[in-house]
Structure 1
Amino acid sequence: MAPSELNLAVLIDGDNVPATYVKEMLEEIAKYGNPTLKRIYGDWTKPRLGKWKKVLLENAISPVQQYGYTRGKNATDSAMIIDAMDILYSGKVNGFCLVSSDSDFTRLAIRLREAGMTVFGIGEKKTPEPFIASCDRFIYLEILHEAPEETNDKVQPAEGRKGRIDKVNPKLIRFIANTISDLEDDEGWAFLGEVGALLQKKQPNFDARNYGFAKLTPLIKSIPQFKVELRKNPKGSRNLVYVKNMK
């Protein structure tokens, strides 16, 4: 489904996401769909949510008050889950964006996908694997904060991002190589668009930006084990990118 056709409910766990990420986070969400509903959950009587209060109006995010009824229990999670199910049955959206680093939303993401919803997850790199795996796509907040400039397809880390970029390692190379093998034709070539889509399905948190690259193509080009070929697109002006494993 094209981003223009996807209406998203954006539900933010105010207890688990820093307010400093809000601008970049909403810009990223807009790439995948139309955020028709934006809510943030938390106990707004608590000082720790003070920074969120300053950005709610300018970003049209509706705050939902949830008192902590019992010490040690997260009432915010429960309120967000109940709201998500109400929104699901309203039929007003066809996708959700769950913004949290909390594994408590794993079952919610699974349930929403079972109902045919597209589910995006956004959270910090500390997010547990089960929640990441339960989403169609998971984006790390760290790669969005202080958006880097792109020079020759390579991301130039801003001051606040140093040390947040992962290194290209043998595990990543094997992952990409195996995916190319899954899709290759008789001559070993695979269309990079299909490779990228399958990488995302296999590993929802896969993102070239995690490794310091703006897009998948420059990441692939930087790895000597892969060969890239540009082919004319008979249906358009932009070239098609194909990739193969070097034997």
Structure 2
Amino acid sequence: MEDKKFNIAVLIDGDNAQARLLKEVLAEVSKYGKATIRRIYGDWTTPQMNSWKETINQYSFSPIQKFSYTVGKNSTDSSMIIDAMDILHSKGVEGFCIVSSDSDYTGLAKRIREEGMFVMGIGRKITPAAFVQSCEIFTYAENLAKSSGKSKPKRTSGPSEKEPVKATESQDKEENEELDLRIIQKAYEIASDEDEEVHIAKIGAALRKIDPSFDPRTYGFRNLTELFRSLDKYAVVKNVVNGLNYPLVKLK
């Protein structure tokens, strides 16, 4: 996924997402493709949608009005799903980004993947695991909300080993989760295929296959290269191709 850019439909559940992160959402989507379809769904007559009104024009999103048919319920999820299926069959995009923490979109994510299309999700850490695992990539909104400064991660531990992670600056360590080295080792083994040096992008792809929500920012690092540099077991090797650095990772 790292080298291919394609058209992505960004569909946001306005009742279940944060307007203040709209810029960060688009930046995250841009890592994988172009956000050609941009829609935010909700009942725009209600006060809770006011926070979106200042940003939709700034970022070229189309507001989709959906009224609540009964008290305590809304039709946003069903409307998004219907629109997503229409977009899916129109063949106008090659991928989707579903922005919500609602488990109601689990079936939609599965259906998109069945068509062989890329699907990513963005939601809070309260998002049910079923929805997270149904996406090819899932990014937690809390990671998008973190400051641009480096975080100070906790120490990491595997089943029978403890390996210190080099501290970085700014954020309190309680904001970062504990890294399980077993998933790192497993991804490295999958990506290496017995090669001595492995492209870090290949390891990243393996990590996402094991856990779609894996994100170095969860552990206080800006990117995967920074994370691997902090681990004593691995060495990051500079690999310049056509003036660009594509880091390699190897065991020390």
Class of the TM-score when normalised by the shorter of the 2 chains: 0.7 to 0.9
Q: Distance in 2 between matches of 1:154 and 1:34?
A: 35
In the TM superposition, residue 72 of structure 1 has moved relative to its aligned partner by 3.8
The structure that is helix-richer by fraction is 1
TM-score (norm 2): 0.84
Q: Secondary structure at the match of 1:219?
A: helix
Cross-structure match for 2:127: 127
Cross-structure match for 1:243: 250
Identity %: 43
Determine if contact 1:40/1:64 at 8 Å carries over to the other structure: yes
**1:214 matches 2:225:** no
Segments of 5+ residues of structure 2 without an aligned counterpart are 152-165
Determine if contact 1:9/1:93 at 8 Å carries over to the other structure: yes
**1:200 matches 2:200:** no
More displaced stretch, 180-189 vs 100-109: 180-189
Cross-structure match for 1:93: 93
**1:165 matches 2:186:** no
More displaced stretch, 105-114 vs 182-191: 182-191
Cross-structure match for 1:67: 67
Segments of 5+ residues of structure 1 without an aligned counterpart are none
In the TM superposition, residue 5 of structure 1 has moved relative to its aligned partner by 3.5
Q: Distance in 1 between matches of 2:16 and 2:149?
A: 27
In the TM superposition, residue 162 of structure 1 has moved relative to its aligned partner by 7.3
Determine if contact 2:42/2:67 at 8 Å carries over to the other structure: yes
Cross-structure match for 2:157: none
Cross-structure match for 1:53: 53
Q: Secondary structure at the match of 2:175?
A: coil
**1:230 matches 2:237:** yes
Q: Distance in 2 between matches of 1:147 and 1:103?
A: 28
Cα 1:185–1:63, aligned 2, differ >3 Å: closer, same or farther? closer
Cross-structure match for 1:111: 111
Q: Distance in 2 between matches of 1:25 and 1:193?
A: 21
Q: Distance in 2 between matches of 1:64 and 1:57?
A: 13
Cα 1:156–1:95, aligned 2, differ >3 Å: closer, same or farther? farther
Residue deviations 1:28-84 (CA, integer Å, cap 9, x gap): 212221111100000111111111112111111111010111234331100000000
More displaced stretch, 206-215 vs 69-78: 69-78
RMSD over aligned CA atoms reads 2.6
Determine if contact 1:155/1:214 at 8 Å carries over to the other structure: no
In the TM superposition, residue 86 of structure 1 has moved relative to its aligned partner by 0.6
Cross-structure match for 1:181: 189
Q: Distance in 2 between matches of 1:126 and 1:200?
A: 19
Q: Secondary structure at the match of 2:22?
A: helix
Determine if contact 1:122/1:141 at 8 Å carries over to the other structure: yes
Q: Distance in 2 between matches of 1:235 and 1:19?
A: 39
- Which residue identity lines up with residue 242 of structure 1 in the other structure? V
